[in-house]
Structure 1
Amino acid sequence: MKINKNKILLVNKFFYLNGGSERVFFLEREFLISHGFDIIDFSMKDSKNLNSNFANFFIDKVDYTNTKGIIRKLKTGFAFIHSSESVNKITKIIKHEKPNIAHLHNIYHQLTPSIIPILKENKIKVILTLHDGKLCCPSYLMLNRGKPCLKCAGTHFHYPITTNCQQTLARGILLSLEAYFHAWKKSYDGVDAFIVPSIFLGNIVAPRIGHSKTHLIRNGIDQTKFIPSTKDDGYLLYVGRLSSEKGIDTLLKAHSCMNNISKLVIVGTGPLEYKLRSHASSSVIFKGYCTGENLWELVKKSSCLIVPSEWYENAPMTILEGMAFAKPIIASRIGGIPEQVVHGETGILFTPGNTHELSQALDAMMTDTDMRRRMGINGRLRLEKEFSIQSHNQQLLNLYQSFL
């Protein structure tokens, strides 16, 4: 599996487990290290960061939420588009370490795409894993007032201004300027290969970057670390951010309409947490932020996992983790989710935002123990066949090899 030239620069703006994209990032990093690759890290400083021998090269923490004063806001706004610090520090690490390949993950806003031309000037092959729709939508969420939106389509970046989809003109202008700046600078033209975890994402970014540069490598799970669970304590489980695009409001409404209301356990935090807690019934249990064994225990004992997203999800790791524990999935029919969940076989898909459909799905799942068990087993088998970390890593190695 080893290749001769094996210095890999791994780049992600967070160097801790901030979300699903970081889980992919660290799984790949762990694999590459275990197979003898020399790994060079480039990221942003944060007290939550994991250890790295290259932390001295990391940029200072960037916080856009607490910027005050007009001059400071202008400087921060420009750094949002082009980070001189990132450019300077990645130049230093390139000269010091001389990597063969740079594999980028989430870089926008803090590290910024301005680092890509620097990598190309130094004749480094660049791979970018796309975890969301940032190349198509300046805000990456692909939402307009809570509704899925693909208007910008990777070229028409004025819509955040003309439609006020960000609901603040200042933010809309900043995001439009960022998108147009990097289109003008052709920052992304320096990427040699774009990894997409779903066919859905590959199709929506193709108008901007073309199909020839996209490589489908599905997110993977190391199934050897997950023992299928036969436990079923009779509760529904949601794991994720408590925000509107995640469909958490729809879930609570659907749950209250069940014929026989089951306990609903909610894991996560977010901007809607206070509102949800204040209006939820006693059958809804909020666990807050959970990780590690505490989270896995909740998944193992659940009856099913619910992913009610109302935005274009790419390839949620939460679904794969539920499948790894042999849990059936109830999820929205949106984005890349139908590529993971097979309706009627490994779970139930419903129309995003449709309270009635979701309520029916909850009732159907909770009144049929045999169906839950069958779907859970089917999901585990599908995971082993289509979403194993072994397959993911082999495809990643093949891509690296093609550039060396």
Structure 2
Amino acid sequence: MKILQANKFFFPNGGSETVMFQEREFLLGLGNETVDFSMEDPRNLDSPYKASFVRTQDYRSRQGKLTKVMSAVQFIHSREAANKMASLVRKTRPDIVHCHNIYHQLTPSIIGAAKLFGIPVVLTLHDYKLVCPTYNRLRGGQPCSACLTGNFREALVHRCASGSFGKSALLYVEATVQRWMGNYEKVDAYIAPSRFMSEAIAHRVPKERIHLLYNGVGTDLVQGSGADDGYALYLGRLSSEKGVGSLLVAHESSGGAWPLVVAGTGPLEADLRSQYKKAKFIGHVTGDELRDVIDRAAVIVVPSEWYENCPMSVLEAMAYGKPVVGSRIGGIPELVADGETGLLFEPGNKDDLAAAMARLMGAPELRRQLGQAARKRVEEEFSLAKHNAGLMNVYKSVLGG
């Protein structure tokens, strides 16, 4: 079988790339062929198909008026990406085109290009782009469902793109044009990594084309040492929707009764570092340092205040045998079994979070029990092997197998 994988980035950049490269490695390991389609970037991994990648698109750079207009058109519908996709499909003749994150840089134009050749298209829903012009379902920093009905005008009225009328207008036009062009509707199978996502996307596409397939983690490659150095760990972007501010307030209110390590960077980093002195900020960590800081943690905290999909951070924590304290929002409750593999609390409720932390941080034996249960749950429900088996079932369904 030959699978063409399309994603705007061809280097490790986030959760969507983690999933794509995991699947690519699995498919190649089975003797399948993979064809890569992405955007040029000096950080890209090597690919025999890099000559077919589209030119770099950086919409954040300063531009003149004419260039801005041309960029806006390219942002919505990339003729270059559509033409290069058509050429690559014609040359390689894949059995399936599997799209991951494609909007803005590649655009849904590539879906239509693939369908012109009668190629089945699979789309993994890493975020809410199909039902939210800004993709994150946030309005003024709060979770929002206004556009689920298809009335994308809400994003314009409320200036959901960073409070900017211009940016919000562009995203509104993009969403409206894409719905009119119908490229997303041409997808044969949508992979939803959480039940929460599948229910959201069902507002736009037929339920029978939606396949629930949780992300997976390679449990055979991750073996925690059982260490517990007594600190709680937050690992992620330092931004408001991630709830790190609420976590730091809860920690401060406890008088720093339990050690808190904050790993990551983001727009709030400077303010948080200056305001919360009792927490230990260690910045961005990778590789062995990242694995070690997770392995030695007592608890992993995921205090998100937006509709998380299927966060890899939760699955990775469980693979290390760590209990997770997570907010009861989005797809997180589908991963964390409250009272069995971790504890859930109401998002943004600092008192609820502080109580959950106090309960776990004062009970090493409870942490050990929940951590063991978390490891067992991830092995049984969220292993990479189970994800890969589900992926093959999705492929078979669109190929008529």
Q: TM-score, normalised by structure 2?
A: 0.97
Tell me which of 228, 232, 242 is aligned to 2:228: 232
Is 2:349 aligned against 1:350? no
- The CA deviation at 1:154 is 5.0
Q: Alignment partner for residue 11 of structure 1, among 6, 23, 35?
A: 6
State which of 254, 260, 265 in structure 2 corresponds to 1:264: 260
Report the residue type matching 1:371 in the other structure.
L
What is the alpha-carbon distance in structure 2 between the residues aligned to residue 60 and residue 269 of structure 1? 28
- Distance apart, 1:394 and its partner CA: 0.8
How far does residue 291 in structure 1 lie from its aligned partner after superposition?
Answer: 1.7
Aligned to 2:54: 59
Shift of 1:165: 2.3
Q: Mapping of 1:45-56 within 5 angstroms? A: 45-56=40-51
Kept after mapping to 2: 8 A contact 1:267/1:287: yes
Indicate yes or no: 2:352 matched with 1:363: no
1:179 to 170, 175, 178: 175
* Other-structure match for 1:247: 243
Q: 1:238-387 counterparts in 2 under 5 A? A: 238-258=234-254, 261-281=257-277, 283-387=278-382
Superposed displacement of residue 220, structure 1: 0.7
Which residue does the alignment assign to 2:137?
Answer: 142
Instruction: Give the alignment partner of residue 193 of structure 1, picking from 174, 189, 195.
Output: 189
Partner amino acid, structure 1, of 2:336: V
Q: Counterpart amino acid of 1:88?
A: N
Q: Which range moved further: 313-322 or 156-165?
A: 156-165
Q: CA deviation at 1:261?
A: 2.2
Query: Which secondary structure does the structure 1 equivalent of 2:292 belong to?
Result: helix
Match of 1:3 in 2: none
Structure 2 gap ranges (5+): none
2:397 aligns with one of 390, 396, 402: 402
Correspondence for 2:166 = 170
Residues 1:217 and 2:213 are matched in the alignment? yes
CA deviation after TM superposition for structure 1 residue 263, in Å: 2.0
Cα distance in structure 2, aligned partners of 1:189 and 1:261: 52
Shift of 1:260: 5.2
2:224 maps to amino acid: P
The C-alpha deviation readout for 1:303-346, integer Å capped at 9, x for no partner, is: 11011100000000000000000000011100010000011111
Percentage of identical aligned residues? 46
- Counterpart of 1:177 in structure 2: which amino acid? V
Partners of 2:275 and 2:66 lie apart in 1 by 42
- C-alpha distance in structure 1 between counterparts of 2:265 and 2:55, whole Å: 26
How far apart, CA to CA, are the structure 1 residues paired with 2:378 and 2:41?
34
Deviation at 1:81, TM superposition (A): 0.6
1:277 and 1:47 map into 2 onto residues whose CA distance is 32
Task: Determine if contact 1:260/1:363 at 8 Å carries over to the other structure.
Answer: no
Question: Secondary structure at the residue paired with 1:223?
Answer: coil
Are 2:256 and 2:279, in contact at CA under 8 Å, matched by a contact in 1?
Answer: no
Distance 1:238 1:260 in 2: 15
* TM-score, normalised relative to structure 1: 0.97
Worse-superposed segment, 25-34 or 251-260: 251-260
Cα displacement (A) at 1:290:
1.5
Question: How far did residue 355 of structure 1 move?
Answer: 0.9
3-state secondary structure, aligned to 1:286: strand
1:37 correspondence with 2:32 = yes
1:8·1:40 contact (CA, 8 Å) conserved in 2? Answer: yes
Over aligned residue pairs, what C-alpha RMSD do you find?
1.1
Distance 2:149 2:381 in 1: 29
- Structure 2 residue 65 is the aligned partner of structure 1 residue 70: yes
* Number of corresponding residues: 398
For 1:337, the aligned partner's letter is: I
